[in-house]
Amino acid sequence: MSGSSNPHKSPSSSSMSSTSSGPNSGAIKKREKRAVALYLKEEISKPERSKNVSDHLDYPLDPQRPIDDPDNIDSCKWIIAGGLTYEDFGKKVREYDNSVMCGLVWTANFVAYRCRTCGISPCMSICSDCFQAGNHEGHDYNMFRSHSGGACDCGDASVMRPEGFCSRHGNRSGSQAYPEAPAELMAMAKEMMPRLFLRFLYHLREEFELQVRESSSTFIWRAAEVETFLGLLQSLSDMGAAMRRVMAEALVDEEQYKKSTSGLNPESKEHRIYAVFLEQLNSHGLRYPLNFDKYKARKGMDQKLEYTTIIEELLFWVLRYEFPQQLVTFLLGLLPDDLYKESFAKAFVKHYSRVSVVLMEAKDRMTVANRFVHISVQLFSNENVAVFLTEHHNLLLTFILSLSNMMQSIQVASLLEDPDMKSNFHWVVNCDSEIMRDHCYWPVVSDLINVLSHRKIAHSFLRDPDLVTLWLDLLSSMQGMNLNTRELRQHVEFEPDSYYAAFSAELEMSASPMWSLLMHCQTPDTRQFILGTIQAIVVSLQDWFEAINFKDSMKPNPYQLTFHLPLHRYLAMFIMTAVKCHDADLASLLPEESLLKQIMMHPLQIQVCLAQIYAGMWVRNGIQIKGQAMTYIQCHFCYSLSDADLFLLQLCAIKLDPDYFVLTVLERFRIMDWLSYCPELASTSSLVDPDHKLAMVEGALSLFSALLGIQTYLGISESDLMRKEMAALLCMSDRQHSTLMDLMPEKTGVSGLAKELFEPTLKEVKLSGVKSSKNYKKTTSLWPPFKIDDNVHNSFRGIYKLVNCKAMHAFLFSVLHKALIKDKSVPESILYQTIHLLNLCLHFAPKTFPNRFMSKRITVKESIISVLLKLYTKLGGSSSYRPQQTSPSSKDSTSSHSEVLGGDGQFYIAAFLDRLYSASSNASRIIDETRRSLNMTKVKAGPSDIDKDSKRRKAWNRQQKLMAEFASKQKAFMESAMDDASDSEEGAPSASASAAETTKHTIKEYDCAICNQTTPSTGQRPVGLVIFLQASSVLGHRHQNDQEYSLNLSESQIQRHRYSSCGKVNKRKMDILLKHFEEKSVELSVNIGWEGGVMAQTCGHYLHLDCHRSYLESLRSQSQADVLAVNKREYWCPLCRQLSNSVIPMVPEESRTMLVKPVSSDPRQMVLDIAEMMVKRRIGRTSWLQEESSTSVVNHEKKKGGIAKVRGLHAIPPEALKADMAAIVDVVHDLLRKVQEEN
């Protein structure tokens, strides 16, 4: 036995790794290591240590030996335990665990809890043990599966409220306080801890030097080599706060680190390895963005790396090896110690500038991003740490420069307004880049949002004009990204999916920080922050307009669309906050009129293009353009995108001249020619097809209704807004509680208030719904019950100038008049929105109107009142409007029917006329005069001698209707008979009867499954039915009768049944014909469907033939892995994915006359028709050749049937064809001669 049990006797160093063998060698080794540990513990407690104590402590960590040697690891455990077993030592240390925080670290897919009631930071999370041990009854919490990992925040008062702490964590006092660990117990751990960390650093440097020497472009983390060693460190950390403090002191000890890096022998391997590390440190080790050099004079912004502690160098290796999981988990586990957290946070921010480069160059970006956030969220959720880093290390500037570096690396020239790039010098982010698609920016943005959740940091951000300018420059690079250009000629070949990245980027990088800033700017002391930011945004917008060369009075390109205008939305939301929270003067906040007109154009272009998309005008851009339109108004985006744009348009309508605003909207919707009564203007060319005019009119009406009715940002309270949103969701259908909560719009990045208001508002909505559930009138065609609500901030009441301007009144009159004279071509959706706007005009009518201006007079002989009275009669049949007296002070548009809250068109028109009738004596007088004049007109319209006889008047009206119908049928008959002038008199009665039965012709339209267009089949662009053709001989097995045979048939019955099939009969017929006639002649006289027929199957979908051709060409260019025989024209139906190989063209219905004269039932007439056909339509070789291409698929399937005897019809020689046709002509001539002789 080489060791000694006497602790006062110095054992030799070799005893730490004794090589004795035998059955008791393991026990001998254990006794030897324990003896050494006891000896060392005794020696270090003496005032003067022996010279060989340091050698004994260094021996198990000798750099010349492998770091994962299990014998060395075991020796370290014995030394740290001081003679105790490692397990007993751990239990004893845990008795002094006085940590106030849990600090449990977990990786991805770990199940944790988040309590919104207890949480201060939005990133707060706790483990299941702490959640179960705490009191969260009645709280708003959820259980989630961690995406990137995290740590338990139980006990951290800066992240969650103390009421949610479990009994084991939080500040303790009295009997709950733990005593400190005795110095004797932790003595060996303090001696060994610096040596453990330095040995780990040496290993990392050695691996790095080896890979540098091999000129490796990537640095590989060999996890297997350090797994055991890191496991030892992790087990020490798990012993509790007492051991974590020892480890923290070693990690931040500058003296120990300096001693390990200075005084090295220049000839030693340690010195060579360290020299390589220093050489690579600031050159190729970790690059940083060059835009940081501009700010290196600022505090904490010098990017030169010089390390003074172990933890600083460890952070270098964390980034260099792209955040290895085991090392990250170990470092995070020490964060509950305040001494370590402060030093770790400083070191982390010191390397933060390198993070953007690492994220862009990493192989597995998602994994690196998750592990990075795993670290940063633990640091920046703590307000004290975040504020310290912001004030002393320019944390906010570091974030913005890191994001700017990412965005600048992927910028491309903007094509907005100027596709030729002659005058546009604006650069915009490329949404197709991998950085955008992989959301590389997400970790940095997540950290920015996290720190902006702290009020003091948000104020620091807005207080610094340089930071605000840098941030707006970053947002400017997102202005106009993911630009869409409307396809006018053919469908896009490949639909882009970059819009996912664009919407995600604006929501995360623009909207979320905006809401975090505005949340902290609602108190009087933040007024200057808001006003200063508004001025900076206006300047940024002016710079952007100059960059894209968008000058005064210019209009956006009508064929371009971008949904991304973050600067516009920042301006809108900061103005909203200034007015709502600080009572700022709106007129002083809005820019000058010329600039405001420029600002208005691009949000208005989005509204116009939305109407075009819904009308099908962007259909050639594919389904993705509809996806963008739906995402724009989706509940998670609408507050930040669509509602912000609408509010900005409302601000423009408030300040700009209302007539200018209305006319600009109508001009951008391209409906001025439809509204005009001037023939010259109505006949001019327009960018909108006539088929889409009504959809654009409805879009303009919808926009005006939204501007006047949506009050999201017009000063209403949060509770009223919550109620409106909830009512809008529940009025369509019942919803589950969780579904309703998910569908509620949200201000991204801001939580708390919405959750607190949800439950009380839901109860209120449920009660009001029960009370009013029976106050509706059942009709055949209900109109939406628009409600007028003028509960807006006084500063925004100028929006109602729109309904009192001349342009709006002229617009509404034109729409109503067109609806009256164009019968049913104007849909009810246009009518009910027009009536709603008229109600708004009446509700917000001023007491006095300015003098009317004179313009070029066009005689219409109608007024809004007369048109409404006629529409009332038209919608209700023969009934006429009769006014009902209502209270002039009534504000409800349906006040004349107070017990009914809804109805059809007649109901709402009557309600408006009743309100107008009761508004003033002049109004009632004009309505009465108009009613009388219309009644007189109706009377004069009938015969003068039967004025007083109502029955005869109705008969006269019926007669007029029948005459008109007869004239219409006569016209249709004349059109169909134009080409039949040579018909005999006997055929005329039949044709007349056929014409009398003719009804209004409707051309059938088909939906193309590729381009999504709905068009008829025409000669210029035919439509085909998707079919699958395959060879089949099934017809050859059918029998002439359907007789069923029972079992036990006789032999003769079996033979008779076998030879009576269609195939056998036709085969015998073929054999007989071949005996008496030539083979070529036989081929013309038989039908081969019984042997080589074609079976057709269809899924019922249609394609344009040109779309089908392009589709096949695209399939040929793709690798189908032999699934499709594209060379045989096989393809998947684009809609249902059913296998197909051809299309059947649908016969065009372009002519209303019959293409072919119907076959006469009279044999004589039939012979005459055949003779005329033979003379006028000669059949030659070319007609067969023309059929060859269209029947290629069918003939291919016939050949697959395996018919050897029967050849294809198109292979007939011309001589045989001429002979057969001559014989047919002779027969027809004989029949014609006989008919003439009989006559």
Phi, psi of 151 (to 5 degrees): -145, 150
User: Who's near 759: CB < 8 A, 6+ residues apart?
Assistant: none
1154: left (phi over 0), alpha (psi -120 to 50) or beta: beta
Burial class of residue 416 (count of CB atoms within 10 Å of its CB; 0-12, 13-18, 19+): buried
The answer to whether the beta carbons of residues 1029 and 1193 sit under 8 Å apart is yes
Residue ranges per domain, the chain?
13-94, 105-176, 188-391, 394-600, 864-935, 950-974+988-994, 1007-1038+1053-1225
DSSP class of residue 283 equals I
Which pTM was predicted?
A: 0.75
DSSP class of residue 508 equals I
Structure tokens, 984: 């005999």
Check if CATH label 1.25.40.10 holds for domain 105-176.
no
In sequence order, the β-bridge partners of residue 150 are 106
Can you give the length of the chain in residues?
1239
Quote the pLDDT of residue 734.
79
The answer to whether the beta carbons of residues 835 and 908 sit under 8 Å apart is yes
In sequence order, the β-bridge partners of residue 1039 are 1061
The answer to whether the beta carbons of residues 380 and 447 sit under 8 Å apart is yes
CA torsion sign, 323 to 325 to 331 to 334? positive
Block mean pLDDT (10 aa), the chain, length 1239: 40 43 48 82 79 80 88 91 90 87 86 88 87 88 84 87 87 58 90 93 90 74 88 93 93 91 83 88 80 90 90 92 91 91 94 90 87 90 92 95 94 83 86 91 94 94 96 96 92 87 94 94 95 97 94 89 97 96 94 95 96 93 93 92 96 96 95 78 61 91 95 86 82 77 74 63 62 46 80 92 93 91 79 93 78 54 85 75 63 43 81 88 86 69 43 59 63 56 44 43 82 85 90 76 62 68 82 83 73 81 90 74 72 87 84 60 76 62 40 45 40 46 49 51
Quote the pLDDT of residue 879.
66
The answer to whether the beta carbons of residues 89 and 79 sit under 8 Å apart is no
Burial class of residue 725 (count of CB atoms within 10 Å of its CB; 0-12, 13-18, 19+): buried
Q: What angle separates helix 921-941 from helix 905-919, to the nearest 10 degrees?
A: 130
Q: Give kind and range of the element (H or E) at residue 1112.
A: helix 1105-1116
Q: Give kind and range of the element (H or E) at residue 1132.
A: strand 1131-1132
Distance CA(660)–CA(662), nearest Å, equals 6
920: left (phi over 0), alpha (psi -120 to 50) or beta: beta
Distance, CA of 546 to chain centre: 30
The answer to whether the beta carbons of residues 1142 and 1029 sit under 8 Å apart is yes
User: Who's near 1153: CB < 8 A, 6+ residues apart?
Assistant: 975, 976, 978, 979
